[in-house]
Amino acid sequence: MRNMFLTMVLCTSAVAACSPKDFVPRAADAPAAAAAGSGAVATGNHPEWSKNAVIYEVNVRQYTPEGTFAAFTKELPRIRALGVDILWFMPVQPIGKLNRKGTLGSYYSIQNYTAFNPEFGTQADFKAMVDAAHAQGFKVILDWVANHTAFDHVWTTQHKDWYTQRSDGTISRAVDDKGKETDWSDVADLNYASKEMRAAMLEDMRWWVTNTDIDGFRCDVAGFVPYDFWADMRATLTKDKPDLFFLAEWEDPALHQSFDMTYGWGLFHLMNDIASGKTKASELDKYFAEFEGKFPPGAYRMNFTSNHDENSWNGTEFERMGANHQAAFVLSALTQNSMPLLYSGQEASFNRRLAFFEKDSIDWRTGPSLAAFYTSIFDLRHTQRVVWNGPWGAPQAKLVTDGADKVYAFVRARGDKAVVVVTNFGDAAATVRYSGLAQPGAFTDWFTKAAATLPTDGTIDVPAHGYRVLVK
């Protein structure tokens, strides 16, 4: 397996596809990168409410035929019944018209940071939705695009110096982490050398916390923005609401100075390769030892089998992972420090790529319901402390097996409590021989509720493209 350290994925603001690439911090960020090991956020400052939380990504435009806040609000009880705790809303602000892609444009081309896309509803509609979500026990975070705006954002005419400019004085398209102009033709690059722009950005973020009572932000292409801005963001916004939660769309240990959680892109891409048969399951050993070991202790890692980028540009979990998509979700959801993400429609086996720049509603009747499957995993994460998030959960230990090509197994244990996870990515059922279980004794199969006795060395039967989760 190639070294996955510091990989990321470009957002879908203007690209026709998203692909991982190596990340190199901007020069100004070198001190933050060097200080990654201190883990100021990761080791103790996560909101207590996040200790066993599960996150769900909401695509308002495509979620219902109406595509509105009011229509989505009616779905809250069903989503809560799944066991979801955090609702992450893709951007809800007005979309730029200048250089717009498609008919409706990209959510990530924002025309006004403190206004609402009229297609979705009003500020009152959004606040009513947030209030309803809070009443049902959800936390709500909003997607925030700090790296760029639409070309017809008011700042482009009132504060042109707030943008990166080319040698001819025109405003540049979004610039990547290496200082190179991207091909994102619908978005204008913001200039973080401007103290005034930074202050305005922080004030606009603060507006959402104070006026809509949201609980945090998912920050788009966080690695394209200087890291000291994110430090200012956390310090500024938590003065108003100390238990805010911050998710970075990036994969860099240094970002855990300011963010509670970063994307698990490395594990995601490895799971794609294992599920499709391109890579041996044993490659996970290297990933956990070499890559995850670089992150601060307790750093949350958001793991997933789908999200808006992957669904629209690279395919559904069914396309990429085939019959192994459930085994992949089980493994990624239960690894150390993982917080699992569910994307809109996954619980209904929605098996189609959603158009990104057009109205393209999810068909909730396309396949067999997977609600019981996901609910069972989320219930495990809520009730079994050893698989809780970050510092609240137990460490992960490899369980030695004889199925290195197709099988992967691990244990998370503390004291007399343990969860054993065995996944089989092969086409045939397997009797997996294992050794070295440090917590032998009586277990319960989490999914079937059948009793099982596991000795220190023994065997576990696992179905083809399947999994076993055994709880003590």
Domain boundaries of the chain, sorted by first residue = 7-393, 400-471
For 154, phi and psi rounded to 5 degrees?
A: -60, -30
What does pLDDT average to over the chain? 91
260: Cβ–Cβ under 8 A, 6 or more apart, which residues? 41, 42, 45, 46, 47, 50, 245, 246, 247, 300
Please write the tens of the pLDDT for every residue from 261-311: 999 999 999 999 999 999 999 999 999 999 999 999 899 999 999 999 999
Model confidence pTM above 0.75: yes
Across 122-140, b (16+ Cβ under 10 Å) vs e yields eeebbeebbebbeeeebbb
Say which CATH topology domain 7-393 has.
TIM Barrel (3.20.20)
Task: Give the pLDDT of the chain (472 residues) as one tens digit per residue.
Answer: 322 323 333 343 433 333 332 333 333 333 333 333 334 454 558 999 999 999 999 999 999 999 999 999 999 999 999 999 999 999 999 999 999 999 999 999 999 999 999 999 999 999 999 999 999 999 999 999 999 999 999 999 999 999 999 999 999 999 888 888 998 999 999 999 999 999 999 999 999 999 999 999 999 999 999 999 999 999 999 998 999 999 999 999 999 999 999 999 999 999 999 999 999 999 999 999 999 999 998 999 999 999 999 999 999 999 999 999 999 999 999 999 999 999 999 999 999 999 999 999 999 988 899 999 999 999 999 999 999 999 999 999 999 999 889 999 999 999 999 999 999 999 999 999 999 999 999 999 999 999 999 999 999 999 999 999 999 9
> Tell me: the pLDDT tens digits for 349-383?
999 999 999 999 999 988 899 999 999 999 999 99
CATH architecture of 400-471: Sandwich (2.60)
Q: Locate 260 and state its tokens.
A: 């509670």
CATH topology identical between 7-393 and 400-471: no
CB 113 within 8 A of CB 204: yes
